[in-house]
Chains A and B, each alone.
Chain A
Amino acid sequence: MKYSTRNIPALLTILIVFPLLLSGQNNTSSPYSKFGIGDLASIGYGRNLALGGTGLALRDPYHINLKNPASLTAIDSMNFLFETGVNIMNTNSSSVDYEENYWDGNLTHIALAHRYSQHVMASYGVMPYSNIGYRLRTMKSLEGEDSFVLTDWVGSGGINKIFYSLGFKFSDKFSLGTEFGYYYGPLIERRKTWAMVQTENPTLYYSNSRYHGVSVKGAFQYNTPLGEKGSQLLLGGYFTPGQKIWGESDVLIRQQYGTTIIDTVYLSQEKAKSIYVPISFGAGLGVTLNGKYLLTADYEMAFWDAVNSDKAYLNQSVYSLGFEVMPQNDLNYFKRCAYRLGFHYDSGYIQTKGYRIDDFRVSAGIGLPVMKSASMLNLTLEAGQRGTISSGLIRERYIKMTVAFSFQDFWFVPRRLN
């Protein structure tokens, strides 16, 4: 292989900087990120999100589709692809007696993809796997006295994932893919507990659990033409065995007296409670019509309940549906754009008070080609609702805008000597 090395330092920098960016962010403000390992981040980028999160049966020469590593084989031999994106999200949370509005922002991913050989393609990058960012106040009764105890909760951190994916092209119709992932990141919880009659002397709790673990994923993709006019049928799927992620917890409990005197009463370093990334599989179906319209649907299932003993976990089903007016090779700029719509339902993987914290959303997006290249700026707008206001729970209604940039360059063009 012979390709330009000019981008390598930049890539390394990005991989190093990314976790720093993540840690500086308020990725989520959802109280539901208190549960499990936090809010699961969306997988898939500008194009996938706008298509309702579908991607198992998508092949795209100009976008990195990480929902299915087998789709990497769609990338043209000369292409080098780079993708990144950011989102901002406005959430309106409401419970029966309270309503709140807040903003969050996040870097969604950084990924690179290129080809090793005619039959082997690779992609690697980093992205958040889960986000934590809750701030809560709870109240319970004080034992022995007719009064209350208050607790302020602050959660932060989340698990990131570094991945390395390979796609193997067996024929024009059939590809296999695999993804190796490394999970790492802290789950941090701080609590401040005090009795209403004892506001000066709160008890402070801090726990920092640094998790790490590996995962592997196997995937396939099959496509076959339908008729003569560029219509195509696509099938895709993946399977991930359950993965244990483990780590160490630093737990620090302090008793505060007045404004300054703090006693460290408990300090320990112990094994963090293991978390299992569940066994999961997904299957997708896609149809393109005349090379102009795309319709795609995915179903995914994750068995959280089977691997985690905590009663809060439930098995998770995700349904997604996407429709796209595909970009055309035309002089008219607007015909070179992509127009997308999607629907997504996620049953959620946690329950509280007997309620599933599910999530449905609709999405709309547009892909804007940049200059005369195949690079594309993907704008996606999602609107959704999660949770319920029953039983003192919270309903979140959100609008999220994601700006993702897919950068395409030719790495393998031989330089011409003057």
Chain B
Amino acid sequence: MKQYRIALFLMALVFFSCEFDESSYRYNLGADFIDDPTRVIMIDTMTVNTYTTLSDSIVTSRGSKLLAGRFENKIGIATYCESYFRFDPYEYYELHETAVFDSACFILYPDDYSFGDTTKTLALAIHELTEQISVDEESEYIFNHTRFDYETNPLATFNYRVEEEDVIDNENDADSIVIRLSDDYGKRFFDMVVNEDTLLDDKDDFNQIFKGYVIKPANNEDAFVAAFNAVADSVYAPKIRVYYHDFTPNDDLYFDYVLENFEAYTGGDYSLGGLYANSYLSTYIENDYSSSAFGGIEPGEGKLPSSETNNLTIIQGGVGLKTRIEIPGIDELYWLGVGSVVQAVLYFEPLKGTYEEESDLPTGFEMYLVDSKNRSYGQMYNIEQSSPAVAVLDYDKEFKDKTHYSFDLTHFFRDEYMSKGDSKYSLQMTYPQARIGHRVDQLIMGSQDHPENQMYLKLYLTNY
């Protein structure tokens, strides 16, 4: 029946008319005659209490740098570093019978890392250890407070200046620092090879005699902390090089005792290198707070309020200075009504005068949840949960005073805001854990009450 066809045609037209449906937003169109009850509020007046805390100990072994030097910062804290290391026995081979010892020297390769006033000259000394380097029995680590005894008189001293060209910037062009050893001392390394000494067959025996070395500042001057490459098995690892000649046509000859490449027993197998390579390489790092406002700092559970330290707080690697952040007012945000945290960002500024250029400012600070005794309950991740949250440095080349860091605390705020109970955790900002034991970078920043470099929290909330 034709009439039914017409009805069907109309039905089809209904679906066709869907095609006219325009999906774009009709933006701006008379947009101001309705009101969204959702409010967005920015608050930057929340109280942020900061404290400086100090770790009990920091693991400094298994690094890949030798740190040595001394630096006094602008607020009177002096950082001192000395590093311990030892060599493997030379893999013995027969020298020509006519071989004659010429000389021996330490060879070090500068690392691109340094901390402090690198315009100065650093006097360094190398001493022979009189005590075996040993690891903590339980953890098999060596910590920043651990020192080993050494001979009073240095084997060698040398002055070191950081110059751009000293840095290993490419494998074929590494400037080395060569420090001549006394012939008496150096010849022992030659003789062991010539005499086919059994010490060279056994690493433990060798290390009983040659316990290792310390590289340390030669005096108490304020300079900087230098770093030397100490990657085990690298051609740039520290070494003792013995030069000799044997009257053969090509007789400008040498052999090396190189940095220990520790062989660790790892569950059924001895493995060379990797994580354990530098198990016996460590750094003693100590801060002297006596001429600063931070004299009252106590390691572990202690927390030193910024109000007692000229409204400053400090984060430093090596020794484990951390900034504890307490935000007491989170629960009070409920007085504003039901809502949610959109974003919470902490802004802080490095103390004016403590940096000259961008590279003076460390990056990558991490945030941990801690209890009242500074015990960590885990790292704060970014809100997407994809990676740990880190501080972001916004360095202003043109207006240096505008330089600041920001740290996104949204994740923490959201959790605290949504949890009904009293706040259980505080925050602790630290130097990145991955390199905390091998660098001594520091950031001195102002607290919320600092007159110039003020810390503040910027919080965006919605309310509905």
Residues of chain A within 8 A of B13, CB atoms compared: 86, 403
**B residues adjacent to A (C-beta < 8 A):** 2-3, 6-7, 10-11, 13-14, 16-18, 20-22, 24-36, 38-44, 338-343, 383-385, 410, 414, 418, 460, 462, 464
A26 lies within 8 A of chain B by Cβ: yes
Query: B17 touching A25 by the CB < 8 A rule?
Result: yes
Q: Say whether A88 faces chain B, with CB atoms less than 8 Å apart.
A: yes
> Is there an interface contact between B7 and A84, defined as CB atoms closer than 8 Å?
yes
Q: How many Å from the CB of B65 to the closest CB on chain A?
A: 37
Given A138-B31, A263-B340, A106:B17 Cβ within 8 A: yes
Bound form: Cα–Cα A137–B32 in Å: 9
**Chain A residues, Cβ within 8 Å of B20:** 26, 88, 102-105
Q: Which has the most chain A C-beta neighbours within 10 Å: B22, B31, B43, B418?
A: B31
Whether the pair A136, B340 counts as a contact (CB closer than 8 A) is no
Q: Report the minimal beta-carbon distance from A78 to chain B, rounded to whole angstroms.
A: 16
User: Which A residues touch B7, using CB under 8 A?
Assistant: 82, 84, 405, 407
Interface 9-mer from A65-73, A193-201, A211-219, A289-297: A193-201
Give the contacts of A170-199 with B (CB-CB under 8 A).
191, 193-195, 197-198
Task: Tell yes or no: A257 within 8 A of B by CB.
Answer: yes
A198 close to B342 (CB less than 8 A): yes
**A105 in contact with B21 (CB, 8 Å):** yes
Interface SS, A side: strand
* Contact among A143, A153, A393 with B40 in the assembled complex (CB-CB below 8 Å): A143
Tell me the dominant secondary structure on chain B's binding face. mixed
Tally of chain A residues near chain B (CB < 8 A): 73
Q: A195 to chain B: which residues have CB within 8 Å? A: 40, 42, 342, 460
5 intermolecular pairs with C-beta atoms under 8 Å apart: A104-B17, A105-B20, A140-B36, A201-B342, A253-B464
Chain A residues within 8 Å of B41, by CB? 142-144
| Bound-complex Cα distance A198 to B25 (A) | 20
Interface centre among A85, A105, A106 (most CB of B within 10 A): A105
Would A137 and B462 be within 8 Å (CB), given that A104-B21, A257-B410, A405-B6 are in contact? no
Q: Which residue of the partner chain, among A34, A85, A138, A198, contacts B32 with CB atoms under 8 Å?
A: A138
CA A100 to CA B43, docked complex, whole Å? 38
* Contact flag A137-B3 (CB < 8 Å), given A144-B44, A195-B342: no
Query: Nearest Cβ in chain A — how far from B229, in angstroms?
Result: 40
> B321 to chain A: closest CB distance in Å?
31
Q: CA A84 – CA B3 in complex, angstroms?
A: 12
A77 in the interface (beta carbon within 8 A): no
Contact, CB under 8 Å: B27 / A136: yes
B17 (CB) vs chain A CBs: closest residue: A105
Query: Which residues of the other chain, B, contact A356 by a CB distance below 8 angstroms?
Result: none
- Contact (Cβ within 8 A) B383 A261: yes
**Chain A residues within 8 Å of B38, by CB:** 149, 151, 191, 193, 203, 205
